[in-house]
Amino acid sequence: NGEYVFDELAPGEYCLKFYVPAGMGVSPADQGSDDAADSDGVADGTITIDGVTYTVVKTPVTTIVAGENDMSWDQGLTPVLNSIGDKVFTDSDGDGIQDPGESGVPGVIVVLEQIVDGQRVEIAETVTDSNGGYVFDGLEDGEYCLKFLIDQDWTISPSNAGEDAATDSDGVTDGTLVVDGVTYQVAKTVATTLTGGEIDMTWDQGIIPPVEPASLGDVVWHDRDRDGIQNDAEAGLAGITVNLYRIVDGDRVATASMTTDADGRYLFEGLEPGTYCVEFLIPEVYGISPADQGADDSADSDGVANGTVVIDGDTFV
């Protein structure tokens, strides 16, 4: 029941010391007006006994007279509470490791779960701060795990990459969850045990930002002075077929085709990042301008002659 007594004491001055094991804190002393119910000792360093370190809690000195029975010397102990957290970060290179320069992601919902009778029970929720940081504190000893709710435009990073637990991404994809009508991807961590006032700030989640679609294009023009540079007076050519190819494993894969507009312009939009090349089908009545002339890449001609092709009886170069 936590009770103790020292009896058959000679009259005199006495004080008490309590040796408190790890995982317990010391209650504040002399609270309230009832001396029989308050906590009396204050922390006074540590002591190691048989290899185990204890916190020493010591009371003031009290005088006992003959026949006195003073049962008012109590000591309150508190469980030392634990913390868990760290950061949700932008994993720009998608390697699952928080590298220098990869910033935190604000506004991400993080859910804390406790393992109770083998089941994951949600006990708290927070949102990452302006630096992507989050923390759950005031936790009793036990098993905990985390869920990160990720916008569907982002991609969950690979988990447990590298050897540094403080910088890797910890959650793995675990379906989706709808919150207030919004569907999120779920990244779930394994369970971890917190004990003895542990502050575990190694639980990170990397997310890969959405890829912005790319575009490629410009103009086919009548290079009247044949210098390979588009001058202000040189108009575009309408109706020129332009084919787009993506390079996949060294091979050209046909991706899209279009014709230039009235101003000679063309634009392929909504492209995934990658390596591409462009093919212009030029009627044989035209010659091909010299490529890569001058210092302005936005005004020079880029293509080089690469044989001929006959389509529906018409020859193109």
Residue 71 CA to residue 250 CA, distance in Å, equals 88
Q: Are residues 91 and 196 in the same domain?
A: yes
Q: Is residue 7 part of a domain?
A: no
Q: Among 39, 61, 79, which residue terminates a domain?
A: 79
- For the stretch 180-218, pLDDT in tens is 999 999 999 999 999 888 999 999 999 999 988 899 999
- pTM value > 0.85: no
Percent of the chain scoring above 90 in pLDDT:
80
Nearest to 69 by CA among 131, 8, 23, 125: 8
Name the one residue in this structure whose structure tokens are 């991404």. Answer: 169
Q: Are residues 134 and 39 in the same domain?
A: no
Specify the pLDDT at position 211: 84
Q: Is residue 160 part of a domain?
A: yes
Q: Are residues 191 and 121 in the same domain?
A: yes
Q: Are residues 45 and 72 in the same domain?
A: yes
Specify the pLDDT at position 80: 81
Q: Is residue 46 part of a domain?
A: yes
- Answer whether residue 170 shows pLDDT above 80: yes
Q: Are residues 107 and 169 in the same domain?
A: yes
| Counted domains in the chain | 3
Higher local confidence (pLDDT), 239 or 272: 239
Q: What is the CATH number of the domain that holds 171?
A: 2.60.40.10
Query: In which domain, by residue range, is 260 found?
Result: 214-316
The b/e string for 14-33 (b: 16+ C-beta within 10 A; e otherwise) is: eebebebeeebebbebeeee
- Answer whether residue 239 shows pLDDT above 80: yes
Q: Is residue 35 part of a domain?
A: yes
Residues 6 or more apart whose CB falls under 8 angstroms from that of 233 comprise 224
Q: Are residues 86 and 75 in the same domain?
A: no
Q: 107 falls in which pLDDT band (50, 70, 90)?
A: very high
Specify the pLDDT at position 25: 83
Show the tokens assigned to 5.
């007594």
- For the stretch 11-54, pLDDT in tens is 999 999 999 987 788 999 999 999 899 999 999 999 999 999 99
Q: Are residues 94 and 58 in the same domain?
A: no
Specify the pLDDT at position 49: 95
Q: Are residues 175 and 108 in the same domain?
A: yes
Q: Are residues 120 and 223 in the same domain?
A: no
Mean of pLDDT values over 128-143? 95
Q: Is residue 169 part of a domain?
A: yes
Q: Among 173, 208, 243, which residue terminates a domain?
A: 208
Q: Among 193, 208, 223, which residue terminates a domain?
A: 208
Specify the pLDDT at position 217: 95
- Answer whether residue 7 shows pLDDT above 80: yes
Q: Is residue 188 part of a domain?
A: yes
Q: Are residues 93 and 195 in the same domain?
A: yes
Yes or no: say if 187 and 150 are a contact pair by the CB < 8 Å rule.
yes
Q: Is residue 24 part of a domain?
A: yes
Q: Are residues 271 and 255 in the same domain?
A: yes
Give the H or E element holding residue 285.
none
- Answer whether residue 313 shows pLDDT above 90: no
Q: Are residues 100 and 203 in the same domain?
A: yes
Average pLDDT across the chain, whole number: 93
Q: Is residue 4 part of a domain?
A: no
